[in-house]
Amino acid sequence: MNNNLSNNNIASKYTEEGFVAPIEVMTPKETLHLRLDFEDAEAELVNQPEKQALLRSYPNRLLPSFDALTRNSKLIDAASAVLGPDLMVWSAALFIKEKKSTKIVSWHQDLTYWGLDDIQETTCWFALSDASEEAGCMKFVPGTHKSKIVEHIDTFADNNLLTRGQEIAVDVNESEAVVAALQAGQASMHHGLLFHSSGPNQTNDRRIGSAIRYIKPSMKQETGDRSLVTLVNGQDIFKNFKVVDPPKGRLLEEEFELCREDDNLKKKLLF
């Protein structure tokens, strides 16, 4: 894999294969700082499981450092290369596999279950810790983003990080899969129709990634509901979503309330 992709290279590789990796985003020191901000917040909420769960789903609303991550120029450049300059963040949820965890993510296509009306979306998955193959990094099947949404089944498997354990019901040619190992501070970017999955974490460190879902403002929820987004680049002339300003502070009660409302809406949209 190429370490220094220009925006043109990003766009052509992404169009052809449906993903790019790695993208250099932050230094190891900056990344550690961000990880510690999250882990401190986790520790502060240790006796409040509902708030801890919201923190995992909405780190960019509850920690200004994660709002800043979604606006990082390296990520904006990469996402703009494939979606254009107007970008909103629909989610930046954390995918965490604890050390020596059997949790996996089954083969799926992201856009299957978010209730969005179009495919103008890309995910930048930012590694807050090393995501090696042993740690359960993502695997992508190049070119599969050119397929439509294929049939998925809900397995509700306990060891699956996906909400419904959703899994592609057709054969996935795993021998063609590319392992997208990342070091802390790097990101991958993948198309919302790309077949992807990840294995267990066999290492002694947590594997933590923020899956930043960038969408074009022209997208909308099929139901017409206005889910919570932030505008991180360019402009939104469509007004299809509830666009909110960056958070004014850390772990603010008003932000938890916004996240709670959106979480309830997403449960309705996703289940």
Ligand X SMILES: O=C(O)CCC(=O)C(=O)O
**Interface residue list for ligand X (CB under 6 A):** 95, 105, 110, 123, 125, 138, 196, 198, 209, 211
Question: Closest separation between CB of residue 19 and ligand X, Å?
Answer: 11
Q: Which is nearer to ligand X, 80 or 101 (CB)?
A: 101
Q: How far is the CB of 123 from ligand X (least distance, A)?
A: 5
Residue 176 or 257 having the CB closest to ligand X: 176
Q: Which is nearer to ligand X, 166 or 240 (CB)?
A: 166
- Write down the least CB distance from residue 152 to ligand X, Å: 13
Phi, psi at 107, each rounded to 5°: -60, 125
Comparison of 122 and 227: residue with beta carbon closer to ligand X: 122
Q: C-beta of 71: minimal distance to ligand X in Å?
A: 19
Nearer to ligand X, 35 or 196 (CB): 196
Residue identified by tokens 């590319």 is 178
Question: Nearer to ligand X by C-beta: 70 or 256?
Answer: 70
Q: Shortest approach of ligand X to residue 239 CB, angstroms?
A: 27
CB nearer to ligand X: pick between 135 and 256? 135
Q: How far is the CB of 150 from ligand X (least distance, A)?
A: 16
- Please give the angle made by the CA atoms of 48, 54 and 58, to the nearest 5 degrees: 145
Residue 22 near residue 10, CB atoms below 8 Å:
no
Whole-angstrom distance, CA of residue 173 vs CA of residue 50: 39
What amino acid is encoded at 115 in this protein?
A: G
* Least Å from the CB of residue 174 to ligand X: 15
